Amino acid sequence: MPSQSSTPRTVICPTCKTAIPYTTDNPYRPFCSQRCKLIDLGQWADEEYRIPEQEKPLPDDV
C-alpha cells in the first residue's frame, strides 16, 4: 500500500512545463515561479506590464 502522507504532490507548471512540488512553500503554485504566474495571467506582456493604462490608486486602509 503506497503511503503518500509525506510525499508532496508534483504538478506541472502550466507556463514552462517544469515539474514542481505542490507545497505551501511555493506561493506561486501551481506555477514554478512568480514570473511564470505573471506570464500565465497575461501580465508579463512587455508594454502592458511596464506601462499601466490607467493609474488606479490602491485603497489604503490605514
With CB under 5 A as the contact rule, the residue among 1, 8, 11, 16 that binds Zn ion is: 16
Applying CB under 5 A, does 39 fall inside the site for Zn ion? no
Cα distances from 42 to residues 38, 39, 49, 53, 62, in angstroms, run: 6, 5, 9, 14, 31
Applying CB under 5 A, does 12 fall inside the site for Zn ion? no
Contact at 8 Å (CB) between 28 and 2?
A: no
- Mark the segment that binds Zn ion (CB under 5 A) among 2-10, 25-33, 43-51, 53-61: 25-33
Contact residues toward Zn ion (CB under 5 A) are 13, 15-16, 18, 32, 36
